[in-house]
Chain A
Amino acid sequence: GAGVSQSPRYKVAKRGQDVALRCDPISGHVSLFWYQQALGQGPEFLTYFQNEAQLDKSGLPSDRFFAERPEGSVSTLKIQRTQQEDSAVYLCASSLGAAGQVSYEQYFGPGTRLTVT
């Protein structure tokens, strides 16, 4: 498909479990972002990749959160020892250009709804 895809769409985890969320960006897109969105709120920035380089991880809430994009395409967001406060929708977005370039529109995937019980 032509859009950003994410899997799984829904994930239920027991507190303490590790989870891995996958993002397939639009082919050729340089930039990839992860956001966390709580119900009724706007997305909150987690981390940013330019190709395979993680240039900004200032939004990751704790060292339990880890993201990678080893070949500059698919990205995985991993959450270790999940807590109830991690319950949210995790959105992935990709953009054709790099930071600072014109036409910096971000294309979003459908998100993964994580529920920690």
Chain B
Amino acid sequence: GQNIDQPTEMTATEGAIVQINCTYQTSGFNGLFWYQQHAGEAPTFLSYNVLDGLEEKGRFSSFLSRSKGYSYLLLKELQMKDSASYLCAVMDSNYQLIWGAGTKLIIKP
């Protein structure tokens, strides 16, 4: 079956760095997405990786290793507004997004 695993919850301090991991097993691979979702709101796109390596976009970076079925989202200089759920999703061979359950990130002052 298809499976996306990410931690349920993480806590970090304002100004610090946090890494959210995601491992996946899917039928086919056409890219991995990270989305941010604040409580009660729609998911918003953060990043897309289809090749191995690191993609940097401001305070957020995303890494992919296809051979290991592994990705991480790195958030630097954490701000209180970064408190949200972070969803990892893999596009399978049918171009369908398979979603993880999300990691709830709690930022403390």
Contacts and interface: CB of A to CB of B under 8 A. Distances in A.
A18 interface: no
A104 B96 contact: no
B42 A42 contact: no
A117 B41 CA distance: 23
A110 interface: yes
Interface in A27-85: 33, 40-45, 48, 56
- Give the size range of B's interface with the partner: 20 to 34
B42 A91 contact: yes
Interface residues of A, number: 21
Interface in B43-79: 43-45, 48
A42 B95 contact: no
A56 B48 contact: no
A80 B25 CA distance: 34
A56 B45 CA distance: 23
Given A56-B94, A104-B31, A104-B91, A42 B44 contact: no
Interface in B83-109: 87, 89, 91, 94-102
